[in-house]
Amino acid sequence: MRTKIVAGNWKMNKTYQETKALVKELKHAVKEISLDNTRVIIAPTFVNLQKASKMTKSSAIEVAAQNMHQEANGAYTGEISAQMLKSVYVDTVILGHSERREYFGESDELLASKVDAALANDLEVIFCFGEVLEDRKSGNHFKVVESQIKNALFHLESGAWSKIILAYEPVWAIGTGETATPDQAQEMHAFIRELVAERYLSDVSEEVSILYGGSVKPGNAEEIFSKNDVDGGLIGGAALNVDDFSAIIKAI
Ligand code: PEP
């Protein structure tokens, strides 16, 4: 059975003090939820990862980073490496978020090297991809998603896929309040699973968790998560509030 995952991407939000407060609240809230085959992951900012990972050590909450550099160390001012994440007990990293692609020019090729560096350091990767509105309107969305996945991930051996989580995030639905319909999400997720099945054996495609991201809220989570190929969500705005995030976890 595929693992269900609810992951919260906190983006550039929450100070140290605010991070401590939200993690504390979340720990209490998550204790009350029965997490049947479901993982809960939060991704605070770099400076707060160590505190969050310490605070969640004995809880069901896992901590992920929002990004990392592909090199191990060196003259890359402002960057953080896979080894540095591992050294503060972070085992998962989000790569390829549309904001990294758009504002920081991250290409598929760069992302392929980040994925390799993460896996070489035994980090699990939540790999994000998704089309912009023009691609959706012109019917190009399947092609765009296919090339994003192929270019960044299809050089991997099948064994590496146990450390890959896919996150389909249509860019037009991120932070806009607009959500893909559950049928649109299911259609794309089924397409992605088929794509992976064609390249690898079906045990890879059947095992990989595919999350949906884009304005998931307590009010729409249950319907989106009810779809066969939707294995959970990557949550932005609603992950910053304990009540909303817990309601989304319950919805799965
Ligand atoms: C995201 O940034 O990954 C995201 C899904 O954001 P939101 O839930 O706010 O649309």
pLDDT in tens, 136-174: 999 999 999 999 999 999 999 999 999 999 999 999 998
Q: Given this model, what pLDDT does residue 177 score?
A: 80
3-state SS string for 120-186: HCCCEEEEEECCCHHHHHCCCHHHHHHHHHHHHHCCCCHHHHHHEEEEECCHHHCCCCCCCCHHHHH
Domain of residue 79, CATH code = 3.20.20.70
Q: What is the mean pLDDT of residues 96-120?
A: 98
Atom of ligand 1 at shortest range from CA of 239: 8
Closest residue by Cα to residue 42 from 78, 4, 86, 8: 8
The SS3 assignment for 24 reads helix
Does ligand 1 have an atom closer than 6 angstroms to the CB of 237? Answer: yes
The SS3 assignment for 88 reads coil
**Does residue 13 contact residue 47 with C-beta atoms inside 8 Å?**
no
Which pLDDT band holds residue 1 (cuts at 50, 70, 90)?
confident
Whether 169 is catalytic: yes
As for how many domains the chain has, the answer is 1
Q: Given this model, what pLDDT does residue 179 score?
A: 85
Q: Given this model, what pLDDT does residue 121 score?
A: 98
Which residue in the list 62, 99, 106, 169 is annotated as catalytic?
Answer: 169
Q: Given this model, what pLDDT does residue 178 score?
A: 81
Q: What is the mean pLDDT of residues 170-198?
A: 93
Does ligand 1 have an atom closer than 6 angstroms to the CB of 174? Answer: yes
Q: Given this model, what pLDDT does residue 204 score?
A: 96
Q: Given this model, what pLDDT does residue 176 score?
A: 84
Does ligand 1 have an atom closer than 6 angstroms to the CB of 216? Answer: yes
Which residue in the list 97, 131, 141, 189 is annotated as catalytic?
Answer: 97
First to last CA, the chain: 14
pLDDT tens digit string along 221-239? 999 999 999 999 999 999 9
Please check the confidence at residue 63 and state whether its pLDDT lies above 90: yes
Give nearest CA residue, ligand 1 atom 2: 236
Tell me which residue range forms the domain holding 86.
4-251
- Give phi and psi for 95, each to the nearest 5: -130, 145
Q: Given this model, what pLDDT does residue 91 score?
A: 98
Atom of ligand 1 at shortest range from CA of 176: 10
Mean pLDDT, rounded, of the chain: 97
